[in-house]
Copies of this chain bind each other. A is one copy, B any other.
Amino acid sequence: MHSATSFLQDLAILMLFAGVSIVIFSRLKQPVVLGYIVAGFLIGPYLFKPGLIHDEDSIKTLSELGVIFLMFSLGLEFSIRKLFSVGATAFIAALLEIVVMIWIGYEIGRFFSWGSMDSLFLGAILAVSSTTIIIKALSDLKMKHERFAQLIFGVLIVEDILGIGIIALLSGIAVSKGDINAVGIIATISKLTLFMVVSLVVGIIMVPRVLAYIARFQSDEMVLISVLGMCFGFCLIVIYLGYSVVLGAFLIGAIMAESRQLAQIERIIEPVRDLFSAIFFVTIGMLIDPTILQTHFVEIIVIALAVIIGKVFSCGMGAFIAGNTGKTSLRVGMGLSQIGEFSFIIATLGIQLGVTSSYLYSIAVAVSVITTLTTPYLIKVADPLSNGLASIIPTPIAKVFNAYTQWVDSIRLHGDKAVLAGMIRKIIMQVGVNLALVTAIFLGVAYFVGPIGQWLGHWVVNVDYRKAVICGVTVVLSLPFLIAAYRKLKALSMLLAEMSLKGGNIRLQRILAELIPALSIVVILVLLSALSSAILPSRETLIIVVVVIIALTLILWRWFIKIHSRLQIALFETLDQSKDNHHG
């Protein structure tokens, strides 16, 4: 009873302070997140020693749930469709921003002679802007529906997915104690991409169907509990595979975003997310140590300036490179010039992994508070500033800028060409997804080869034959996807041959058209043998397996195609259904 009462007391104090301070901050037209952080600072262990919270661990456990619900909600708002529909601006600006900010952050850390891990985490903390703060600022300024705001939302979507990647990479780097190289990073990114593609494809085929079944009972309670069951269950798998729970919550959210029940799920999850994210932000405030703010005053100011200047520059430049006018680009840059919830999650990760110094956290929060406060003013100042710059810049340079914007617009594909480019992109993506699924099947079998072999041992005694069976079944399982990939590549080569007829070296194009499917088979075969080394039987047995598989492939060709097209229809059905959701 006693421990429960003290936990209850902590929660009561937390909620009371949070409630009062968000009323005050809303009154002052400031983001509620700042209110939570201030509330946390007031009840934390540093301001009034020993602080008003007794059982910090329980509160921190609840704040863990806050991260999960925050990322889950972010995933619900994400949707793959949106990612595909954001333009080049978003990709270029987000990529440039993240690379530049990680580099700036790292250099600042090294300049202040921090450790390499602290510097790296600082870079990551500065990389991603805050969706919450931006939406709040744009709503207050009533600018949410302007063109630059739409560009900003696109950048945020790309940032989310890149931010998830950064978190996965940082976990990998931190666990390997910074002992990293290019090959390691590429391997980590490949594995992560593979995992994300496979989970999304499998998830989007399965999860919305389960949710549709559950929705038939017309009970909010059932939807809530099953959604949470799936969410936490998937997070468990993700943790088991060595990734951060942040990734899991985001991915399962993105998967559920494709279900017809999206609106219902968002409505039900919202209060739960608000509750736990409030606890999360308050615990962030609790971790602010005022003495660190004093001793690291210079660093905080330098980093805050770096965030503002670096983001305005990199995002603005990215938007400009993608072909926007100088004015719009500056507005995009100004809008994105702050750090927020992602930075807190990365800072928390550093503490949990035990690789960052304690001061980093307080600095990150302080920088976030400063840049949150400056954001609305920067957005307001963007237009006067761009007008001012326009009058200062010498005419020749301004002409070059304008010429660039026009040139980008001119090289953009129009009409038939744009359609063709779209088709080619689509085919390449489909090939990629199919090969990812094949890879996942092979890796999965290789991972479970021990137990599968043992289980098979009851029937097949010879180890070599056992391997042959496993290898054969694996290939047969992959065949629908392999055949699909082969057919897509053939279609691509035909498309390219078609294009080539309209001009250029016809002979070369013809050869290319024949070459691509042939080459694709070779690539796939190489891939297969590389992946199946763990389950490959001896050469003699292998020949039999290969013969059997070739025979099966020839006989069941149409059947495999049917299977695959059914799966594909299931996938696209869901995606098309969800399109209606998102439009609604």
Residue numbers of A with Cβ under 8 A of B are 1, 3-5, 7-9, 11-13, 15-20, 22-23, 26, 32, 57-58, 60-61, 64-65, 68, 213-214, 217, 219-222, 224-226, 228-233, 235-236, 239, 245, 268-272, 274-275, 278, 352-353
A-B contact pairs, 8 of them (CB 8 A): A11-B232, A19-B228, A20-B229, A22-B226, A26-B217, A224-B271, A225-B278, A272-B275
**Docked CA distance A214–B269 (Å):** 22
Contact call A225/B8, Cβ cutoff below 8 A? no
Partner of A15, one of B57, B64, B213, B233: B233
Contact call B15/A236, Cβ cutoff below 8 A? no
Q: Which residue on B lies nearest to A9, using beta carbons?
A: B236
Interfacial chain B residues near A233, Cβ < 8 Å: 12, 15-16
Given contacts A32-B222, A352-B1, contact A229 B26 (CB under 8 A): no
Interfacial chain B residues near A23, Cβ < 8 Å: 213-214, 217, 222, 226
**Docked CA distance A216–B358 (Å):** 40
Interfacial chain B residues near A269, Cβ < 8 Å: 271
**Docked CA distance A224–B272 (Å):** 10
**Docked CA distance A219–B29 (Å):** 13
Contact call B16/A274, Cβ cutoff below 8 A? no
**Docked CA distance A233–B15 (Å):** 8
Interfacial chain B residues near A270, Cβ < 8 Å: 220, 271
**Docked CA distance A268–B269 (Å):** 10
Interfacial chain B residues near A16, Cβ < 8 Å: 229-230, 232-233
Partner of A22, one of B18, B222, B245: B222
Q: How far is the CB of A304 from chain B (nearest CB, A)?
A: 27
**Docked CA distance A58–B245 (Å):** 19
Starting from the known contacts A15-B231, A225-B278, A270-B271, 17 additional A-B residue pairs (CB-CB under 8 Å) come to: A1-B353, A3-B57, A3-B61, A8-B64, A8-B236, A8-B245, A9-B236, A12-B236, A18-B225, A22-B226, A26-B219, A26-B222, A32-B219, A220-B270, A224-B271, A224-B274, A225-B275
Contact call A274/B220, Cβ cutoff below 8 A? yes
Interfacial chain B residues near A214, Cβ < 8 Å: 23
**Docked CA distance A156–B425 (Å):** 64
**Docked CA distance A26–B13 (Å):** 38
Contact call A239/B19, Cβ cutoff below 8 A? no
Q: How far is the CB of A14 from chain B (nearest CB, A)?
A: 8
Given contacts A225-B15, A233-B16, contact A239 B274 (CB under 8 A): no
Interfacial chain B residues near A228, Cβ < 8 Å: 15, 19, 275
**Docked CA distance A15–B1 (Å):** 25
Interfacial chain B residues near A15, Cβ < 8 Å: 225, 228-229, 231-233
Q: Which residue on B lies nearest to A269, using beta carbons?
A: B271
Interfacial chain B residues near A222, Cβ < 8 Å: 19, 22-23, 26, 32
**Docked CA distance A278–B220 (Å):** 13
Contact call A8/B229, Cβ cutoff below 8 A? no
Contact call A232/B12, Cβ cutoff below 8 A? yes
Interfacial chain B residues near A230, Cβ < 8 Å: 16, 19
Partner of A268, one of B3, B22, B221, B271: B271
Q: Which residue on B lies nearest to A240, using beta carbons?
A: B9
Contact call A61/B225, Cβ cutoff below 8 A? no
